[in-house]
Amino acid sequence: MVNFVGAGPGAKDLVTIRAYKLIASAGIIIYAGSLVNPELLGYANKNCQFYNSAEMTLEEIIDVMSDASSKGIEVVRLHTGDPCIYGAIREQMDRLDSLGIPYAYCPGVSSFCGAAASLNIEYTLPGISQSIIITRMEGRTPVPEKESIESFAAHNSTMVLFLSTGMAGELSHKLVSGGYAGDTPAAIVYKSTWEDEEKYVCTIETLEETAKKHNITRTALIIIGDVLMQGGYKRSELYNPYFTTGYREALTGD
């Protein structure tokens, strides 16, 4: 059995109880060494073998899984954050399917949730934005033309950019040419929830300058949108005393 497990954004206690148990009982852990906090490996048992996937190809990873499966060894494939976002899990699952190796998926706390916690923000403020666009600048992995930064920027919603801090200058141009005002609030969160976390609130126009000043090129998220402002939003209707919900009658009168 192979378990794809979300390792959370960094802090070693930000994993689910299920993830903790799977790590503790694994015979082999293949972890994304570039981003997974090595302290999580401390939850493993003393006989566990470790493989750093940063140094491996997909074929090598599958070989380890397949060999373990033939010996009845439980494998944990530890991915940073939640594996469903830029985790490259589908290609592993497809190969396991073709080899007839069973697998399960244990979700984790994505770094975009970790970053909201670091900044104490809500991405979906009534009256400001009710949508989060999660995307990235094109790198070695191409981004489909229909998903250009400019086209997403036209929505002026909350946007979270993974894998893009090294291209902050180009990103700012695209965001502004797509429709955000240059002074729209922006934030850079580096190693959210790790002990050496850093976070900076700036504007779209000052993103590159802020990233350069603090020497941040990777392991960071860029967050864009007016939700980063203090105030300016409407209160929720759900908790409004003059609004009836399925669980509570509205107050009447003045």
Q: Which residues here bind ligand SAH, judged by CB under 6 A?
A: 9-10, 35, 79-82, 85-87, 110-111, 114-115, 162-163, 189, 191-194, 218-221
The least CB distance from residue 110 to ligand SAH, in Å, is 3
Q: How many CB atoms lie within 10 A of CB 102?
A: 10
CB 183, CB 224: distance < 8 Å: no
The least CB distance from residue 7 to ligand SAH, in Å, is 9
Of residues 69 and 87, the one with the C-beta less far from ligand SAH: 87
Is residue 253 helix, strand or coil? coil
Of residues 73 and 84, the one with the C-beta less far from ligand SAH: 84
Q: How far apart are CA 14 and CA 6, in angstroms?
A: 10
For residue 200, give Cα distances in angstroms to 189, 203, 204, 211, 242: 7, 10, 12, 9, 38
The least CB distance from residue 252 to ligand SAH, in Å, is 46
Looking up tokens 């923000």 gives 121
Of residues 62 and 163, the one with the C-beta less far from ligand SAH: 163
Q: How far apart are CA 197 and CA 191, in angstroms?
A: 5
Of residues 69 and 164, the one with the C-beta less far from ligand SAH: 164
The least CB distance from residue 112 to ligand SAH, in Å, is 6
For ligand SAH, which residue has the nearest CB?
A: 81
